[in-house]
Amino acid sequence: MSDGCDVLILGGGLAGWSAALAAAERGASVTLTEDGMGASPWVHGFNAPCVREGDSPEVFLKDTLASAQGQSMRELDEALCADAPRVFRSLLEIGLPFNRDGECYEAIRPLGSSFARVVSVGNETGPAILNAYREKLKGKVRVIPHARALKMDVRDGVCRGALIHDGAFHRIAAKSTVLCCGGFCGIFAFTDNKRDSGGDGIAMAYEAGCRLRDLEMIQFEPSGAVWPEALIGTAMITTLFYSGAVLRNAAGERFMLRCGPQAEQVGKAVMARCICREILAGRGGPHGGVYMDLTGVDGKLLDEKYPMYVERYRNVGIDLKKEWIELAPIAHTALGGVTIDANGQTDVEGLFAAGEVTGGVHGANRLGGSGGLEPLVFGKRAGTSAAKRAENVRAPVLAEPVPAEAEGMENSLDAIRREMKKQINEGLAVIRTEEGMRAALRKLKELTEETDRLKAGDGAESPFRLRLKNDLLCGTLALTAALAREDSVGCHQRADRPDAPKMKYTVTVRRGKDGEAVTERNPVG
């Protein structure tokens, strides 16, 4: 597999396929590598600020900026909100049957929004869009399945493709490369991310020379199941708090009423903090969570709008209409990542990025419904930009051959991975301390050194070791960024530094000349 392409897309989720569609429509030859679909199959819907009277991209932008708490890049937010109606219309044009209520489109109001604006296709919007894009691009895009990107091919400051593994190592040469490999919350021990989620994208971009921003901003879904065992790591949708669902502690008290007049109708970051404080105070349930009480939600609404969740719990013998369920905050979304401009360009020539692997769109807290919109908007923008660049670039030459694989060390690597996940879970918790973060950072350094010692003596490489190295580096960078933010804002909360920042700034991390991580604080605005 030594041939090249105009545009190489790394990732098979919504961002990757959106980029592929945009690049192919400009006539570029496109290769897409996919190793799973990230969070895309679980996208319930996305924000469309054009389906309710009074709503608009301007109102959506106001909500987005308020949710971001002054920590986002306005250029990216303006692009996200302005493109949202166009994304919705384009999907209508290719035949997606969005849910309707008579003459109107059905829409859900997410936490922190002024209007109901999340539109859906059944209960599986992500798969519906992916299937539509795949069908539209059938025979027009080369797809390499079960292929994971592990390292960027950067020479003379220009990205010329990537090293991938699909059972064997290959280098793919490309005029432009688009990084769309999703977020990194799979490096946590307690996460609702799937197995294909990890730190590869962050690590590859960092080593390629990209600046990373907001890595400390990790959004925890307030409602991750801690019991029963079969459902641990799955999340309950939080829009139900607008339909009668409430939270209770072990004594049955609605403790969110103590957190403010909005009670459960607050942003996810606020809710996650309140839940953690309740648990730390000893008022949680037997499995380390609090209770979500859906008995006040209309049963017909549950059956018609949320059948996936009703069935999920029914399969383990729990009736959501009659019983409480035990939940706790779970690592859900990485709000930080690769720094891009509004067209997906990174700091490295020839390298673009889109979706959850990037940072700057959501600032300190992501607005509900924007997680599904972001990859559609910026995937298209990055794919278009990558194809434009490819039109004026000579075909790149492949780098040197890749080393053969070495096997037989997986058990040792698995033990290191388990310890890494535990340390990241504790160090980058919902509520953090300097002591906890430094302890986790020291341990990750030890684990990295241990991983280095496991490399085969003949210089051969293992994909399992490379993946672990990427995840360890990603966790190290996120902890480094969190330590650099010595205050509390949005998704980053420190028990030892509870005050809000005196001025708005972003923490960026980049690779120094000697390979060390360099952090900077830059004013926002």
Span 383-427, pLDDT tens digits: 999 999 999 998 877 777 776 665 556 678 999 999 999 999 999
| Rounded distance between C-alpha atoms, residue 23 and residue 31, angstroms | 10
* Lookup: tokens for 321: 């209409």
Q: What are phi and psi of 125, to 5 degrees?
A: -65, -45
| Rounded distance between C-alpha atoms, residue 412 and residue 395, angstroms | 41
Residue 313 resides in a domain: yes
CA 235 vs. chain centroid, Å, equals 15
Give the count of domains, the chain. Answer: 2
CA 113 vs. chain centroid, Å, equals 20
Which helix (H) or strand (E) is 30 found in, with range? strand 30-34
Q: Which of 270, 299, 331 is the last residue in one of the domains?
A: 331
| Rounded distance between C-alpha atoms, residue 63 and residue 257, angstroms | 23
Among 297, 304, 236, smallest CA distance to 271 is for 236
Same domain? 327 vs 430? no
Average pLDDT of adjacent 10-residue blocks, the chain of 525 residues: 83 98 98 92 93 97 95 97 98 96 91 92 94 97 96 96 94 97 96 91 98 97 95 91 95 95 88 94 96 97 92 97 97 97 98 98 93 98 98 83 62 92 97 97 97 72 91 98 96 95 95 93 87
pLDDT of residue 176: 98
Residue 88 resides in a domain: no
Angle of CA points 477, 480, 484, to nearest 5°: 140
DSSP type of residue 111 = T
- Which pairing describes strands 212-213 and 337-339: parallel, antiparallel, or unpaired? antiparallel
| Rounded distance between C-alpha atoms, residue 270 and residue 265, angstroms | 10
Same domain? 320 vs 228? yes
Residue 450 resides in a domain: yes
> What pTM does this model have?
0.93
DSSP string, 438-457: HHHHHHHHHHHHHHHHTS-T
| Rounded distance between C-alpha atoms, residue 37 and residue 55, angstroms | 31
**Residues 360/341, Cβ–Cβ less than 8 Å:** no
pLDDT of residue 515: 86
CB atoms within 10 A of CB 51: 19
Residue 143 resides in a domain: no
H helices within 49-182, ranges in order? 57-68, 74-93, 125-136
Residue 251 resides in a domain: yes
Asked if omega into 228 is within 30° of 0 (cis), the reply is yes
pLDDT of residue 456: 62
Residue 276 resides in a domain: yes
Residue 188 resides in a domain: no
Angle of CA points 33, 38, 42, to nearest 5°: 135
State which residues form the domain around 307. Answer: 219-331
Q: What is the CATH number of the domain that holds 247?
A: 3.90.700.10
| Rounded distance between C-alpha atoms, residue 454 and residue 457, angstroms | 9
* Lookup: tokens for 495: 């028990």
Among 500, 501, 490, 470, smallest CA distance to 150 is for 470
- Which pairing describes strands 30-34 and 100-101: parallel, antiparallel, or unpaired? unpaired
**Residues 352/210, Cβ–Cβ less than 8 Å:** no
Q: What is the CATH number of the domain that holds 490?
A: 1.20.58.100
pLDDT of residue 399: 75
DSSP type of residue 229 = G
Q: Which of 314, 331, 348 is the last residue in one of the domains?
A: 331
Q: Which of 285, 313, 331 is the last residue in one of the domains?
A: 331
| Rounded distance between C-alpha atoms, residue 251 and residue 211, angstroms | 47
pLDDT of residue 439: 98
**Residues 180/38, Cβ–Cβ less than 8 Å:** no
Same domain? 324 vs 233? yes
Residue 97 resides in a domain: no
CA distances from 310 to 15, 105, 240, 414, 438 (A): 29, 23, 12, 35, 42
Which SS3 state, helix, strand or coil, does residue 524 take?
coil
